[in-house]
A and B are shown apart, each in its own frame.
Chain A
Amino acid sequence: MSDEDIVFEVDDLRIHAIRDDGSELPIVKGVDFQVKRGEVVALIGESGSGKTTISLSALGYCKPGLKFAGGAARLLGQDVTGMTTEELRPYRGERVAYLAQSAAATFNPSIKINEQVTEAPVLHGTKTQEEANKKALALYRALELPNPDTIGDRYPHQVSGGQLQRLMAAMALCGDPDLLVLDEPTTALDVTTQIEVLKAFKKVIKEEGAAAIYVTHDLAVVAQIADYIVVLYHGEIQEKGPTDTIINNPKHPYTKRLMAAVRPTPAAGQGDEDTGDHGREVPALEVRDVTAGYGKGPRGGPLVTILRDINLSIERGSSVGIIGESGCGKSTLARVMSGLLPAAEGDVLLDGKSMRASYRSRSRDNLRKVQFVYQMADTALNPRQRIGDILGRPLEFYHGLRGKKKRERVAELLTLVDLRPEFAQRLPHELSGGQKQRVNLARALAAEPEVMLCDEVTSALDSIVGANVIELLKRLRRETGVSFVFISHDLSTVASFADEIVVLYAGRVAEKGPTDQVLSPPYHPYTRLLISSVPEMRVGWLEESMQTREALAGIARGVKITDIGCPFFERCPLAIEGTCDKVDPPSRKDGSGHVIECHREISELGG
């Protein structure tokens, strides 16, 4: 292997954070690795492991507040760590290109897509505008974007998230860079979209012959795309080696822990075991024929209908998982249950008794019994209140506790979520993401609810932290007997916690039933698509699934909320023209509580 094949090399790289008082805190502590031409190197680790910081060193860039403190980052043999912005300009966008996590935030909302895609090579003078346009068009085609001829004339808000993510890849590749830096480019996407984007990335990287650094915390994704893995923890390399070796034979304990935290691909037999002595009485919470949406339309109905004819019940002490792609209405359903969004039609029943639609007119006792836990613990906790006050408010409001009694109960609650009682004195920003989410759960538990609505509570957390929160939820459920509604776009997470699953598609229930049955045949065609889109942690899975997936036409097609027929019609491989698009699907039941809304017979949906 000659030196010319090394596109990028970090050599004992050190990066320090500058604290407010001017002192320095090392966050990357002497890291070495190489990226060779045509090779994809994955940097994996939790947040705080320094993986993004290291990857940005390839562009000679430090986030504000950081600085290079030693070692070298050599791009094509040139150390870029000491260069000024002016010296770096010829490299950036030309020799090395960056793809960020959120394309929605990375595209300038006021400039048309094509200008942004072609900007770098045109500015650097390596391509004329026409040449760049031609290259961009070829990339739009290669990335399988719809309407490649005209998509560049749109503004970023006019295309979908998955498309924007692929357009960002076009932006990065337009200048024919030698090195691509991909920073969690699929993390924010739904599984069905993620697989599309991964596929496109892999193909384009191969075709363009570029080298790439792929930053992620998702091992299953890494297994699909990387040739070489570098495992990071607290700014230090724990283990590095070829993908096969790391995935199949991890040596370092931290790598093993990361592997263990990967939730197994959803399959039957994972659901939390049902404790048995419940479910015979009235359900804790029941949703009957609920239709809901936003705005006020003509004739009193909502302007935009999000949910249509939803029926489901949450048995006492059970946990129900609600799953679907973004925009399917899962959060809206939780908002309807909590009364934050009054349902336009239908009823929400607590203990068999109908509740008022809006939280404003619900009784305090009703409010107490249904508690909401938000996805972003950061924004759900008041940054200026101490944890003790945050937990004390519901204790005072619902239970009238004050003074010593309140303090004791706060300490109990903190212990319940595995935090030390001293945390009561802290402010939210002094806590880590996982700790904040625990406080968030404790705040909901303070009310002593019957139902907890958990909206994507682990989605913003790293895999290890997220897995711990799931463990906590399981224990809380056993100890408190509270029912959980667990909303997530991540099927694996839901499968590991829920004993019943409701699959939502375009605001309607596609399938529901006990976890084991939903995750095993017969499937609703949409459930099957969801399950098959979850990456498996083995090399070669992406290629295999791409083979079988060709049959499933139109994954990337947008979700349409329809008034008649089955909303999945356009994307369904089993659709019956003339029936599925015209008539509402019947409910297929097998007698054990498993319901599939489909025109196909149960026997056609098996296997």
Chain B
Amino acid sequence: MLSLIVQRLLIGVVTVFAVSLIIFICTQWLPGDAAEIRLGQSATEANKAALRAELGLDKPLAVQYMNWATNFLQGDLGKSLAGDRSISESIGDRYQSTVTVSVLTAAIGIPLSLFLGIMAAMFPSTLYDRILTFVSVSLVAVPDFFTATLMVLIFVFAWDAVFGFQLANVVVIGNTQDMGVFELVGHYALPIATLCFVIASQVIRMTRAAVLNVMSSPYIEMAILKGVPRKRIILRHALLNAIGPIVNVIALNLAYLVSGVVVIEVYFAYNGLATFMVQGVQQRDFILVQSIGMLFCATYVILMLIADIASIVSNPRLRHPK
């Protein structure tokens, strides 16, 4: 088992390396370099050459890559092309709000959807199961801004009309420092609620399908014929064998929370990493795009690694070879 895990870790490192190469080479292909973009079109050749020398752009590509990569590993993401601010600094608060929202969403949404999915598998084809399936399929099918709009309509306007006050802020602004967990949840209530719905629909459906798939195996029939109560059959006999696919879909959804929530960030007007990435693209700030791209890649690889290792560890065949 250890060799399998080490193998996965190595593959993860290789993946990050390969992605960094691709990102680096792609930005080289773009017309213009950092010096040109920063100085503008009116700059003289001499000025540009001086800046290139300062930035190390006159060195061979391999050396440039090595510098970039080592700096990146040390946490120095370079300077933004748009301003002179260090990228590490400007990413800092974006990163914080993204992580806050992701962690809170995951902490609320995943246990909830696991519970709902398992319940659906426990009582398949009941009214509860049908409603849950209908709602989760609908939520997978509609775009996330629609869900967000729905949240605003319900918790802000409908709530206001009925109870006379707004349950949550439509727009998430303000300083979040010194907030406790519950204050944070209140502060980010609408984005968290929306994202919970988006990931829950997927996790619920996968949990239900994975558990039901196991439920048709002969060893479950055997457990029924041994007189094992249904609750124990699901929790002890079925769930253990359904962990693999569930963990994978959770990991993919967590990665999405970090990198794929542009629309939600824009909708609720809070600054996260995904919008930052979009701004970088708009401003042709490819240094910024490189850095955030690498961050997203690392997030994906780490989450998938965790999922892989979790499914290896949950499989007794791999944990205890013959």
A associates with B: yes
A interface residues with partner B (beta carbon < 8 Å): 56, 59, 61, 85, 88-94, 97-98, 100, 102, 105-111, 119-120, 123-124, 154-155, 157-158, 171
Question: Is there contact, CB below 8 Å, between B226 and A120?
Answer: yes
The reply on B130 being an interface residue by CB < 8 A is no
Given A98-B222, A155-B317, A157-B316: A109 in contact with B241 (beta carbons within 8 A): yes
Indicate which residue in B224, B226, B241, B316 contacts A119 across the interface (CB closer than 8 Å). Answer: B226
Residues of A within 8 A of B38 (CB): none
Residue of A nearest to B230 (CB): A85
* Contact present for B225 and A61 (CB under 8 Å): yes
Whether B222 lies near A88 (C-beta < 8 A) is no
Residues of B194-234 whose CB lies within 8 A of A: 217-219, 221-230, 232
A109 with B317: CB separation less than 8 A: yes
Residue of B nearest to A156 (CB): B316
- Chain B residues, Cβ within 8 Å of A119: 223, 226, 228
Q: Are B227 and A91 in contact (CB under 8 A)?
A: yes
Contacts of A111 in B (CB 8 A): 236-237, 240
Chain A residues with CB under 8 A of B316: 109-110, 155, 157
Residues on B with C-beta less than 8 A from A102 are 218
From A94, A108, A154, contact of B223 by CB (8 A): A108
**B302-319 Cβ-contact flags toward A at 8 Å (1 or 0):** 000000000000111100
In the bound complex, CA of A406 to CA of B225 (Å): 52
Residues of A contacting B222 in the complex (Cβ-Cβ under 8 angstroms): 98, 100, 106-107
How many Å lie between the Cα of A98 and that of B315 in the bound state? Answer: 27
Q: A110–B225 contact, CB under 8 A?
A: no
A106 B228 Cβ-Cβ under 8 A: no
A171 to B227, CA, bound (A): 13
Would you give the shortest CB distance from B301 to chain A, in whole angstroms? 27
Interface residues of B (CB under 8 A from A): 217-219, 221-230, 232, 236-237, 240-241, 314-317, 320, 322
- Chain B residue with minimal CB distance to A159? B322
Given contacts A94-B227, A98-B225, contact A158 B322 (CB under 8 A): yes
Report the minimum CB–CB distance from A10 to chain B (whole Å). 18
**Pick the contact of A120 from B221, B228, B237 — CB < 8 Å?**
B228
Partner of A110, one of B223, B224, B229, B314: B314
Contacts of A110 in B (CB 8 A): 240-241, 314-316
**Interface-centre pick from B227, B236, B240 (highest chain A CB count, 10 A):** B227
Would you list 10 pairs from A and B whose C-beta atoms are within 8 A, ordered by A residue? A92-B227, A94-B227, A106-B218, A106-B222, A107-B219, A110-B240, A123-B226, A157-B322, A158-B320, A158-B322
Q: Report the separation of the CA atoms of residues A97 and B240 in the bound assembly, to the nearest whole angstrom.
A: 24
Tell me which of A92, A109, A157, A158 contacts B225 (CB under 8 A).
A92
Q: How far is the CA of A93 from the CA of B223 in the complex (A)?
A: 9
Q: Is the CB of A92 within 8 A of B226?
A: yes
| Docked-complex contact B314 and A59, CB < 8 angstroms | no
Tell me whether B229 and A123 are in contact (CB under 8 A).
yes
Q: Once bound together, how far apart are the Cα atoms of A171 and B320, in whole Å?
A: 22
- Interface pairs A-B: 8 shortest CB-CB: A92-B227, A93-B226, A110-B240, A105-B218, A93-B227, A89-B227, A155-B316, A120-B226
A123 touches B228 (CB 8 A): yes
B26 CB, nearest partner CB in chain A, Å: 36
In the complex, what's the smallest C-beta–C-beta distance from A93 to chain B, in angstroms?
A: 4
Q: How far apart are the CA atoms of A94 and B315 in the complex, in Å? A: 30
> In the complex, what residues of B have CB within 8 A of residue A97's CB?
225-226
Partner of B224, one of A85, A107, A123, A155: A85
Task: A269 to B229: give the CA distance in the assembly, Å.
Answer: 57
* CB closest residue in chain A, given B218: A105
- Kindly identify which residue among B217, B227, B240 contacts A90, using a CB–CB cutoff of 8 Å: B227
B6 vs chain A, min Cβ distance (A): 19
Q: In whole Å, how far is A607's beta carbon from the nearest beta carbon of chain B?
A: 40
Bound Cα distance A114, B107 (Å): 36
Contacts of B217 in A (CB 8 A): 105
A108 and B317 contacting across the interface, CB-CB below 8 Å: no
B residues within 8 A CB of A108?
A: 219, 223, 237, 240-241
Complex alpha-carbon distance, A106 and B223, angstroms: 9
A424 to B233, CA, bound (A): 45
Closest Cβ–Cβ distance, residue B306 to chain A (whole Å): 20
Q: Which residues from A are CB-within-8-Å of B230? A: 85
Pick from A56, A90, A123, A158: contact of B232, CB below 8 A: A123
Residue in B227, B241, B315, B322 whose CB lies within 8 Å of A123: B227
- Nearest-CB distance from A212 to chain B (Å)? 15
> Which residues of chain A are within 8 angstroms of B219 by Cβ–Cβ distance?
105-109
* Min CB gap B39→A, angstroms: 57
Say how far A166's CB is from chain B's closest CB, in angstroms.
Answer: 16
In Å, the complex CA distance between A155 and B316 comes to: 7
